[in-house]
Amino acid sequence: MQTALADFIRDTPAGREADTILRSCVHCGFCLPACPTYQLLGDELDSPRGRIYLVKQLLEGQPVTSRTQLHLDRCLTCRACESACPSGVEYGRLIDIGRTLTEERLPRPPAVLLARWLLRRIVPHRRRAALLVGLARSVRWLLPPALERRLPRGRAAPWPPVRHARRVVLLEGCVQWALAPEINAAAANVLDRLGISAIRASAAGCCGALSLHLAAGSEALAQLRHNVDALWPHVAAGADALVFTSSACAAMLGDYGRLLEDDPAYAARARRISAMTRDISQLLDTERAALTATLAQAAGGSRTCAQPVRVAFQAPCTLQHALKVRGAVEPLLSAAGFTLTPVADGQRCCGSAGAYSILQPRLSRQLLRAKLVALEAGAPDVIASANIGCLAHLRSGTALPVRHWVELLAARIAGG
Ligand code: SF4
Ligand code: SF4
């Protein structure tokens, strides 16, 4: 694609990055069938190729209009288009640059600004999110079922003591800490059985993804720098890896090196942190032999015969499109004795997408309904996912239990 970037952006780091991305797009349109919003709305401007044109126009100095904002807002940042693109266009980075420009140049209505500000003020802050969740729990009988089903229902198992020489940092994130602490406790217990101790990094906070995708770039960079400072002592102390049970947060930490590359005080440490970051599926995939042996031992020692439990696995977009982890979780669930049910259109987003379910509720609900039809088609007993946002979103629309897949492994190892 030919470009002629305007003076205001041409010689900036964002301008140079955007120019490279734009030039890699050859307009072929292979990404269109993969795009959930194009599938729903049938409008070229709600497709990856259409949005790439809109961002190109912005960067070439054309005025920012409400139409530009509407179509960029409707993008889920699911990055299914990146998986489908034969030219390797880094669409996810381009849309972040385009959104930041739009946000700077086109004011939003006060009510929308307030909603976005409140999201950024509450969700990434653990104690505020926990307070909100606590309040909601105290009046749960008053809440609509779709909201009530999102509230915590599990109880976290105790974390095992730190007793192994092999150690990883298990990050707790922000909203997951408030909504589902049982997930990290389950992961810590699975890792402990494999001879790996999980250390909490309490000083680290939100990964910064919410602020970044809401076009609050400076705020996101402050969160990144805070986390680099909070995690560095663990890196220096010899931790093997920085592990998330939320694939969206793992994908974000994996980008720290690139996002902080122009900051001389942080660039080297950020690169190292990105290189050490793993989603729990990536870590357990490398431990597959030991895990399989542990599961076999647990099955042999169990006094009750394990029931065949049918599981529908929903692979979050951040796992399959951002981290490019495909086919790692399913064999581990099979090894644990679960029966995987078929799921059509597995590459399609569930509509959660960070704050999307709040800011674009109509499209989000349409995607959720389609996703649940696909997940429930194989008559599963339980739906499993790998990201807290997807878990909460899926729970809002189904009566089936929805769990993180590592909880299922932990239950099997514990003989459940
Ligand atoms: S598939 Fe890739 S190269 Fe083709 S139009 Fe889409 S983004 Fe551009
Ligand atoms: S990120 Fe997802 S919603 Fe956005 S253009 Fe790409 S495929 Fe479509």
Buried b (16+ CB within 10 A) or exposed e, 248-274: bbbbbbbbbbebbeeeeebbebbebbb
Mean pLDDT of 143-172: 88
Q: Whole-angstrom Cα distance, residue 44 to residue 31?
A: 11
Report the residue among 89, 91, 93 best suited for mutation to probe ligand 1: largest number of ligand atoms under 8 A from its CB: 89
Closest atom of ligand 2 to 317 CA is 2
Distance in angstroms (rounded) separating the CA atoms of residues 70 and 52: 14
* Residue spans of beta strands (DSSP E) within 269-331: 277-279, 310-313
pLDDT for position 318: 97
* Model confidence pLDDT, tens digit, residues 305-345: 556 899 999 999 999 999 999 999 999 999 999 999 999 99
- Cα–Cα dist 196/167, whole Å: 5
Identify which ligand lies nearest to the alpha carbon of 89.
1
The pLDDT of residue 302 is 60
Sheet holding 310-313, edge to edge: 339-340, 310-313, 382-385, 402-404
**Structure tokens that stand for 86 in this block:** 């034969």
Mean pLDDT, range 70-87, rounded to an integer: 97
**Centroid of ligand 2 to alpha carbon of 224 (angstroms):** 24
Tell me the three-class secondary structure of 217-271, residue by residue: HHHHHHHHHHHHHHHHHHHHCCCCCEEECCHHHHHHHCCHHHHCCCCCCCHHHHH
- Tell me what percent of the residues of the chain surpass a pLDDT of 90: 82
Give me the chain's average pLDDT, please.
Answer: 93
Q: 11: CA distance to ligand 2 center in Å?
A: 27
Work out which ligand 1 atom sits closest to the CA atom of 29: 5
Nearby residues of 217 by Cβ (< 8 Å), 6 or more positions away = 96, 100, 211
- Summarised one tens digit per residue, pLDDT across range 94-106 is 999 999 999 999 9
In 3D, which of 264, 315, 348 has the Cα closest to residue 40? 348
Any atom of ligand 2 within 6 Å of the Cβ of 54: no
Q: Which of 76, 321, 363, 367 gets mutated to test ligand 2 (max ligand atoms within 8 A of its CB)?
A: 76
For residue 49, the CA-to-ligand 2 centroid distance in Å is 9
Question: Would you say the C-alpha torsion 368, 374, 380, 384 has a positive or negative sign?
Answer: negative
Say which ligand is closest to the CA of 353: 2
Q: How far is the CA of 24 from the centre of ligand 1 (A)?
A: 8
Please answer whether residues 133 and 163 qualify as being in contact, where contact means their C-beta atoms are separated by less than 8 angstroms: no
Q: What is the distance between the terminal CA atoms of the chain, rounded to a whole angstrom? A: 56
pLDDT digits over 182-232, tens only? 999 999 999 999 999 999 988 899 999 999 999 898 999 999 999 999 999
Is residue 321 within 6 Å of ligand 2 at its C-beta?
no
User: Rounded to the nearest whole angstrom, what is the distance from the C-alpha of residue 316 to the centroid of ligand 2?
Assistant: 14
Our answer on whether the CB atom of 55 is closer than 6 Å to any ligand 2 atom is no
Q: Give me the pLDDT at residue 130, please.
A: 87
